[in-house]
Amino acid sequence: MDVSRDRYVIDGYDELQKAARIHVSRISGEEGLQVPGVSIVRSVGPGPARADAYFATRKGPPTIEVTERALRELSLEGLTFLLAHELGHFADAARFARRTRVLVAVFSLAGVLMLGGFLAAALAGYFNASSYGGFAVLVIGLVTLGVWLLMACAMGREGEMRADMFALRHDPELTGAREVFDSWEVDKPEATEPMTLTRRVSFLFRTRPYRSTRLRAMQAALSRNNR
Protein backbone atom coordinates (compact mmCIF):
# COMPACT_ATOMS: atom_id res chain seq x y z
CA MET A 1 0.00 0.00 0.00
CA ASP A 2 1.40 3.38 -1.00
CA VAL A 3 0.06 6.15 1.25
CA SER A 4 1.04 9.73 0.41
CA ARG A 5 -0.01 13.05 1.94
CA ASP A 6 -2.06 13.89 -1.14
CA ARG A 7 -3.73 10.67 -2.17
CA TYR A 8 -4.11 6.99 -1.37
CA VAL A 9 -3.07 4.46 -3.96
CA ILE A 10 -4.56 1.24 -2.60
CA ASP A 11 -5.13 -2.05 -4.36
CA GLY A 12 -7.37 -4.69 -2.88
CA TYR A 13 -10.30 -4.84 -0.50
CA ASP A 14 -8.22 -5.94 2.49
CA GLU A 15 -5.90 -2.98 2.15
CA LEU A 16 -8.85 -0.61 1.82
CA GLN A 17 -10.40 -1.88 5.03
CA LYS A 18 -7.07 -1.80 6.83
CA ALA A 19 -6.54 1.84 5.85
CA ALA A 20 -10.01 2.82 7.04
CA ARG A 21 -9.57 1.00 10.36
CA ILE A 22 -6.25 2.72 11.00
CA HIS A 23 -7.80 6.16 10.67
CA VAL A 24 -10.95 5.30 12.60
CA SER A 25 -8.80 3.87 15.43
CA ARG A 26 -6.58 6.96 15.49
CA ILE A 27 -9.46 9.46 15.66
CA SER A 28 -11.37 7.32 18.18
CA GLY A 29 -8.30 7.13 20.40
CA GLU A 30 -7.79 10.89 20.29
CA GLU A 31 -11.44 11.42 21.26
CA GLY A 32 -11.58 8.67 23.90
CA LEU A 33 -14.24 6.72 22.01
CA GLN A 34 -14.80 3.01 21.62
CA VAL A 35 -13.48 2.00 18.22
CA PRO A 36 -16.43 1.06 15.99
CA GLY A 37 -16.25 -1.51 13.23
CA VAL A 38 -15.49 -0.56 9.65
CA SER A 39 -17.11 -1.94 6.50
CA ILE A 40 -16.24 -1.12 2.91
CA VAL A 41 -19.37 -0.69 0.79
CA ARG A 42 -20.13 0.31 -2.77
CA SER A 43 -22.66 2.94 -1.77
CA VAL A 44 -24.24 4.23 1.44
CA GLY A 45 -27.51 5.20 -0.21
CA PRO A 46 -29.55 5.08 -3.39
CA GLY A 47 -28.09 6.49 -6.56
CA PRO A 48 -24.54 6.36 -7.90
CA ALA A 49 -21.72 5.56 -5.51
CA ARG A 50 -19.82 8.59 -4.26
CA ALA A 51 -17.03 9.34 -1.80
CA ASP A 52 -19.13 9.02 1.34
CA ALA A 53 -19.54 7.22 4.67
CA TYR A 54 -22.37 6.35 7.04
CA PHE A 55 -22.56 5.52 10.74
CA ALA A 56 -24.80 2.48 11.14
CA THR A 57 -26.21 0.76 14.23
CA ARG A 58 -28.90 -1.28 12.48
CA LYS A 59 -27.43 -4.69 13.29
CA GLY A 60 -24.74 -5.76 15.67
CA PRO A 61 -22.02 -3.40 16.95
CA PRO A 62 -21.70 0.22 15.79
CA THR A 63 -20.09 0.32 12.35
CA ILE A 64 -18.86 3.00 9.98
CA GLU A 65 -19.64 2.12 6.39
CA VAL A 66 -17.24 3.87 4.04
CA THR A 67 -17.40 3.65 0.28
CA GLU A 68 -14.58 2.22 -1.76
CA ARG A 69 -14.57 5.40 -3.81
CA ALA A 70 -13.89 7.52 -0.72
CA LEU A 71 -10.84 5.45 0.16
CA ARG A 72 -9.52 5.47 -3.37
CA GLU A 73 -10.15 9.10 -4.29
CA LEU A 74 -10.05 11.30 -1.19
CA SER A 75 -6.86 12.83 0.15
CA LEU A 76 -5.77 12.24 3.71
CA GLU A 77 -7.52 15.45 4.79
CA GLY A 78 -10.74 14.56 3.00
CA LEU A 79 -10.84 11.06 4.44
CA THR A 80 -10.06 12.39 7.92
CA PHE A 81 -12.98 14.82 7.80
CA LEU A 82 -15.34 12.19 6.44
CA LEU A 83 -14.49 9.58 9.07
CA ALA A 84 -14.38 12.12 11.90
CA HIS A 85 -17.84 13.34 10.89
CA GLU A 86 -19.23 9.81 11.18
CA LEU A 87 -17.47 9.35 14.51
CA GLY A 88 -19.21 12.54 15.55
CA HIS A 89 -22.51 10.73 15.05
CA PHE A 90 -21.14 7.88 17.16
CA ALA A 91 -20.14 10.29 19.94
CA ASP A 92 -23.64 11.79 19.75
CA ALA A 93 -25.35 8.40 20.04
CA ALA A 94 -26.88 9.08 23.47
CA ARG A 95 -28.40 12.35 22.26
CA PHE A 96 -29.64 10.57 19.14
CA ALA A 97 -31.37 7.95 21.30
CA ARG A 98 -33.19 10.68 23.25
CA ARG A 99 -34.28 12.38 20.02
CA THR A 100 -35.53 9.06 18.72
CA ARG A 101 -37.65 8.50 21.82
CA VAL A 102 -39.22 11.94 21.40
CA LEU A 103 -39.99 11.25 17.74
CA VAL A 104 -41.52 7.87 18.55
CA ALA A 105 -43.72 9.48 21.21
CA VAL A 106 -44.94 12.23 18.87
CA PHE A 107 -45.56 9.78 16.03
CA SER A 108 -47.48 7.47 18.36
CA LEU A 109 -49.60 10.38 19.57
CA ALA A 110 -50.37 11.36 15.98
CA GLY A 111 -51.40 7.78 15.19
CA VAL A 112 -53.68 7.54 18.22
CA LEU A 113 -55.34 10.88 17.43
CA MET A 114 -55.89 10.03 13.76
CA LEU A 115 -57.25 6.56 14.51
CA GLY A 116 -59.41 7.82 17.35
CA GLY A 117 -60.74 10.71 15.30
CA PHE A 118 -61.52 8.48 12.34
CA LEU A 119 -63.35 5.94 14.51
CA ALA A 120 -65.26 8.66 16.34
CA ALA A 121 -66.36 10.26 13.07
CA ALA A 122 -67.28 6.89 11.54
CA LEU A 123 -69.32 5.79 14.55
CA ALA A 124 -71.01 9.14 15.15
CA GLY A 125 -73.89 8.34 12.85
CA TYR A 126 -74.45 5.00 14.50
CA PHE A 127 -74.91 6.69 17.86
CA ASN A 128 -76.83 9.66 16.40
CA ALA A 129 -74.05 11.98 17.51
CA SER A 130 -72.21 14.80 15.73
CA SER A 131 -69.16 13.77 13.74
CA TYR A 132 -67.50 17.19 14.07
CA GLY A 133 -65.62 16.18 17.21
CA GLY A 134 -64.18 13.13 15.50
CA PHE A 135 -63.12 15.13 12.46
CA ALA A 136 -61.56 17.74 14.73
CA VAL A 137 -59.50 15.07 16.49
CA LEU A 138 -58.52 13.60 13.11
CA VAL A 139 -57.31 17.02 11.92
CA ILE A 140 -55.34 17.49 15.12
CA GLY A 141 -53.75 14.10 14.50
CA LEU A 142 -52.78 15.11 10.97
CA VAL A 143 -51.29 18.36 12.25
CA THR A 144 -49.36 16.40 14.87
CA LEU A 145 -48.04 14.13 12.12
CA GLY A 146 -46.88 17.20 10.20
CA VAL A 147 -45.14 18.49 13.33
CA TRP A 148 -43.47 15.09 13.70
CA LEU A 149 -42.17 15.28 10.14
CA LEU A 150 -40.77 18.79 10.66
CA MET A 151 -39.18 17.69 13.94
CA ALA A 152 -37.58 14.65 12.31
CA CYS A 153 -36.08 16.78 9.53
CA ALA A 154 -34.87 19.48 11.95
CA MET A 155 -33.25 16.89 14.21
CA GLY A 156 -31.54 15.33 11.21
CA ARG A 157 -30.08 18.70 10.19
CA GLU A 158 -29.00 19.39 13.76
CA GLY A 159 -27.27 16.01 13.94
CA GLU A 160 -25.30 16.74 10.77
CA MET A 161 -24.17 20.12 12.09
CA ARG A 162 -23.11 18.64 15.43
CA ALA A 163 -21.09 15.95 13.64
CA ASP A 164 -19.45 18.67 11.54
CA MET A 165 -18.39 20.52 14.69
CA PHE A 166 -16.92 17.29 16.02
CA ALA A 167 -14.99 16.72 12.78
CA LEU A 168 -13.76 20.31 12.83
CA ARG A 169 -11.30 19.39 15.58
CA HIS A 170 -9.56 17.08 13.12
CA ASP A 171 -9.83 19.37 10.09
CA PRO A 172 -9.07 22.86 11.47
CA GLU A 173 -8.25 24.30 8.06
CA LEU A 174 -11.45 22.91 6.48
CA THR A 175 -9.30 21.43 3.71
CA GLY A 176 -10.95 18.02 4.02
CA ALA A 177 -14.47 19.41 4.35
CA ARG A 178 -14.09 21.46 1.18
CA GLU A 179 -12.70 18.48 -0.71
CA VAL A 180 -15.58 16.21 0.36
CA PHE A 181 -18.23 18.82 -0.43
CA ASP A 182 -16.62 19.62 -3.78
CA SER A 183 -16.63 15.93 -4.73
CA TRP A 184 -20.34 15.73 -3.85
CA GLU A 185 -21.03 18.88 -5.86
CA VAL A 186 -19.57 17.21 -8.95
CA ASP A 187 -21.87 14.20 -8.45
CA LYS A 188 -24.98 16.13 -7.41
CA PRO A 189 -24.86 19.93 -7.59
CA GLU A 190 -26.95 21.91 -5.13
CA ALA A 191 -29.04 24.93 -6.06
CA THR A 192 -27.21 28.23 -5.70
CA GLU A 193 -30.00 30.68 -6.43
CA PRO A 194 -31.17 33.10 -3.68
CA MET A 195 -33.27 31.68 -0.85
CA THR A 196 -36.75 32.22 -2.22
CA LEU A 197 -39.85 31.47 -0.15
CA THR A 198 -40.29 28.15 -1.97
CA ARG A 199 -36.70 27.16 -1.27
CA ARG A 200 -37.01 28.17 2.38
CA VAL A 201 -40.11 26.02 2.76
CA SER A 202 -38.49 23.05 1.02
CA PHE A 203 -35.49 23.43 3.33
CA LEU A 204 -37.75 22.58 6.28
CA PHE A 205 -38.19 19.09 4.82
CA ARG A 206 -34.50 18.44 4.26
CA THR A 207 -32.74 16.05 6.62
CA ARG A 208 -29.36 17.58 5.76
CA PRO A 209 -28.38 21.25 5.64
CA TYR A 210 -27.06 22.69 2.39
CA ARG A 211 -23.33 22.16 2.01
CA SER A 212 -22.77 25.91 1.85
CA THR A 213 -24.64 26.27 5.14
CA ARG A 214 -22.50 23.60 6.77
CA LEU A 215 -19.30 25.19 5.52
CA ARG A 216 -20.33 28.66 6.75
CA ALA A 217 -21.20 27.24 10.17
CA MET A 218 -17.79 25.60 10.47
CA GLN A 219 -16.04 28.78 9.32
CA ALA A 220 -17.97 30.77 11.93
CA ALA A 221 -17.00 28.27 14.62
CA LEU A 222 -13.34 28.59 13.64
CA SER A 223 -13.57 32.37 13.77
CA ARG A 224 -15.03 32.26 17.27
CA ASN A 225 -12.35 29.85 18.45
CA ASN A 226 -9.56 32.03 17.04
CA ARG A 227 -10.68 35.21 18.81
Alpha helix ranges (H) inside the chain? 13-31, 68-73, 76-91, 93-124, 132-168, 175-187, 197-203, 211-225
Distance from C-alpha of 37 to C-alpha of 126, rounded to nearest angstrom = 59
Average pLDDT, the chain: 87
Task: Give residue 58's pLDDT.
Answer: 67
Task: Give residue 184's pLDDT.
Answer: 93
Domain limits of the chain? 2-95+149-225
User: 89 pLDDT exceeds 90?
Assistant: yes
Distance from C-alpha of 102 to C-alpha of 104, rounded to nearest angstrom = 5
H/E segment holding residue 130? none
Contacts of 116 (CB under 8 A, 6+ apart): 134, 137, 141
Q: What is the pLDDT of residues 107-143, one digit of tens each?
A: 999 999 999 999 998 888 777 778 888 899 999 999 9
Determine the average pLDDT of the residues in 19-33: 92
- Considering only residues 151 and 47, tell me which one the structure prediction assigns the higher pLDDT: 151
Task: Give residue 59's pLDDT.
Answer: 67
Burial 28-56 (b: 16+ CB within 10 A, else e): beeeebebbebebbeebeeeeebbbbbbb
Q: What is the pLDDT of residues 50-85, one digit of tens each?
A: 899 999 876 678 889 898 899 889 999 999 999 999
User: 2 pLDDT exceeds 50?
Assistant: no
At residue 27, φ and ψ (nearest 5 deg) are: -65, -40
- Considering only residues 190 and 27, tell me which one the structure prediction assigns the higher pLDDT: 27
For residue 82, how many other CB atoms are within 10 A of its CB?
28
Q: What is the pLDDT of residues 148-198, one digit of tens each?
A: 999 999 999 999 999 999 999 999 999 999 999 999 998 888 877 776 777
Sequential DSSP letters for 163-206? HHHHHHTT-TT-HHHHHHHHHHHHHSPPP-S---HHHHHHHTT-
Distance from C-alpha of 92 to C-alpha of 96, rounded to nearest angstrom = 6
User: 47 pLDDT exceeds 60?
Assistant: yes
**Angle 159-164-170 (CA atoms, 0-180°, nearest 5)?**
145
